[in-house]
Structure 1
Amino acid sequence: MMNFLNLEYFLTAAEELNFTKAAKKLFISQQSLSSHISKLENDLGVELFNRTVPLTLTPAGKSLVKNALRILDLKEQSVKELADIKDFKRGDLFIGASHTRGRAFLPEILPYYNEKFPNINLHLLEGNSKELDAALLKGDVDLIIGMLPFNVENVEMVPLCNEEVLMVVPDNILVKYFPNNYMEVKQKLEKDMDITLLKDCPFLMVNAKNRVRIIADEMFNEKEIKPNIILETESIETVLALSVKGMGITFYPKTLMNNKDLIFDKNTITGVNLYHLKYNKTHGTLAIGYQKNRYVSQALKEFIELAKDKYGNIE
């Protein structure tokens, strides 16, 4: 009979393809790991690894990797469902959010959630848009928070509020690049938002896996602009901080500017212009996403309800 622990150990060994490294990762001896693998092979009547250097998976081993992931995921979902049926007194909730989105969004929800459900263990995975989409697909998180669309199949979406990506343009950049008609350009941007006017100006950008960057790149491509990017970083807060100091132009989500706990709020920024972009994808929706084909735990349902109560203002 197949043992869940043996399956978990097998997957770790299959990932590392080295029994010594896998045993170290599992905090067990190599002898103990080999014993678990041998027991699994005996139960199934097949060899799972070619004992070569380096270690490789047999065709049976490759097949089991795929199915073991499904088996263990189903086991995890069953445990959650049974815990909910029993009493909903304990459990886990895995949340995925970007660093900045988590900092702006979660303090408005998690303290109340924790007070109401103190025995639910909260786990936060922070990453960029592509990393969060992948984590949801793999089942590493129960939900993700971000702008629609989520690039994952079979995702249930819970819209929370309208979102808009603004362009942040420091006054000194306009003065430097348009010394003879600074006010005229400023007014034209306010009225028509023709981004081609800024094609020679310096831009500060988040890296290519961030959704804000993806939207900006699509906009540049549509306008046939090759932007003068003088800095790229993982942190969207860093590009805003540098832009406010006059280093270059950047893009930033409006809802994050409304959060008083971030480095700035829009009422304290001076010498900077915030422009609404005339591009469809800069106007979107902030939402929660979770997989349709997975068990929706009571812990997840309660989180969604709290989030909707706080942010549910779609017009």
Structure 2
Amino acid sequence: MNISMQYFLVVAEELSISRAAERLYVSQQCVSSHIKKLEQQYCVELFVRKPAFCLTEEGKALQRSLLRQKVLESSLAKEMNEIRGQRTNRVRAGIHNTRAGLLLPLVIRQFQKSFPNVVVEVYQGSTNEFETMLLNGNLDIFIATDTMERPEFRCLFLRKEHNYLVSTVSLLERLGMGSVAVSHKIEAVQLTRLPFISSLSGSYLQTKIDSWMDERRITIQKNIVVGTYRTQLLLAAQNAGVCFCPQMLFPLIADLNRNASGKDHLVPITVEGLDIPTELSVIVHRDAYQSEILSAFSASLKQAISTALGADVATWSLTRIEESKTDPVDT
């Protein structure tokens, strides 16, 4: 890949000549010159300058091709090094913010048994961010939730994870819905009576839930919008509202309940007609070299997710309810 192509990729990522020049430590004129050279080479316009600076369809095609070339070149270098016995000593992994706290201890413990000297760089963010990083060659592997199929990705589907509504018993009783806490079930029409703690609009799960609500013409009260499940659960434990929670995060609920008493316990609730599981997968780039280290890290991720989702939800739920009945309750 020549320097003009390298500069083009930076401009395509930044969508700004000036920002690209700052990143590259060169003048804007230098960057523009290299872009012009590529446009002359392919006899196309790569960017639309007005009204907003963006890639043309030809520019998008070149970006896809060059990103793949970048990954292939990096992959070849890694494979050559491994053949020479110079194994890579780094894995760059993407894991969702809240899930990282649950999975990383399991992953690292298992992985370091075989590769104690390999550096694990963990990036925390959203599936959207990880997809972009993987395409740009800035990530080796990530855990995806409901990722879209892409020809550049190799996807190892792990399992489906169920999602539940979560609330304290006391909040439900205050709203005249104590029977919901006992049955662990709620009708869809009853959701309008609840104050919700919701995820940001870019969340895949929130998008699916919002679509499900729209189809049934259900309008809920989104009193709080916050980005991480951990924060949502902390707020729910303080009776600030109800939230949706993936099954993997039930250990966080159990921890919160250990420090709560009586009706301040959080309980999981099934919403009538709402069957929107989250698909968990491990994603790598299809053209990237699958080293022994990367394969081992992928296996550790798979084992950690299996362990994290191994607890029986029904048993956990009933245990929590029985404990809440025996705790002293202020009336």
Give the TM-score band, short-chain normalised.
0.7 to 0.9
TM-score (norm 1): 0.75
**Could you give the per-residue CA deviations for residues 111-170 of structure 1, whole angstroms, max 9, x where no partner exists?**
5434633554433332223333444455442222133x3213244433445522121122
269-278 vs 76-85, which deviates more? 269-278
Q: 1:238 to 1:82 in 2, by over 3 A?
A: same
Give yes or no for the alignment of 1:301 onto 2:301.
no
Q: 1:33 to 1:227 in 2, by over 3 A?
A: same
**Could you give the per-residue CA deviations for residues 168-206 of structure 1, whole angstroms, max 9, x where no partner exists?**
12233323322xxx444544x52x431322312211111
TM-score (norm 2): 0.72
- Displacement of 1:284 in angstroms is 4.4
Partners in 1 of 2:259 and 2:160 — Cα distance?
Answer: 23
| Residue identity opposite 1:253 in structure 2 | P
SS at match of 1:225: coil
- Displacement of 1:312 in angstroms is 3.5
Q: Which residue of 221, 225, 230 maps to 2:218?
A: 225
| Residue identity opposite 2:270 in structure 1 | H
Q: Which residue of 142, 150, 153 maps to 1:153?
A: 150
Partners in 2 of 1:122 and 1:166 — Cα distance?
Answer: 32
Partners in 2 of 1:134 and 1:31 — Cα distance?
Answer: 25
Residue in 1 aligned with 2:282?
Answer: 288
Residue in 1 aligned with 2:245?
Answer: 252
Q: 1:139 to 1:170 in 2, by over 3 A?
A: same
Residue in 1 aligned with 2:66?
Answer: 68
Contact in 2 for aligned 1:9/1:33 (Cα 8 Å): no
SS at match of 1:230: strand
Q: 1:174 to 1:78 in 2, by over 3 A?
A: same
RMSD: 4.1
Q: Which residue of 110, 122, 126 maps to 1:128?
A: 126
84-93 vs 199-208, which deviates more? 84-93
Percent identity, please: 21
Partners in 1 of 2:168 and 2:301 — Cα distance?
Answer: 34
Partners in 2 of 1:273 and 1:132 — Cα distance?
Answer: 32
Partners in 2 of 1:165 and 1:216 — Cα distance?
Answer: 10
- Number of matched pairs: 303
Residue in 1 aligned with 2:84?
Answer: 86
**Could you give the per-residue CA deviations for residues 17-40 of structure 1, whole angstroms, max 9, x where no partner exists?**
7666434312x44399569949x7
Q: 1:34 to 1:285 in 2, by over 3 A?
A: closer
Q: Which residue of 170, 183, 188 maps to 2:168?
A: 170
Residue in 1 aligned with 2:324?
Answer: none
Residue in 2 aligned with 1:106?
Answer: 104
Partners in 1 of 2:250 and 2:57 — Cα distance?
Answer: 53
Stretches of structure 1 lacking an aligned partner (at least 5 in a row): none
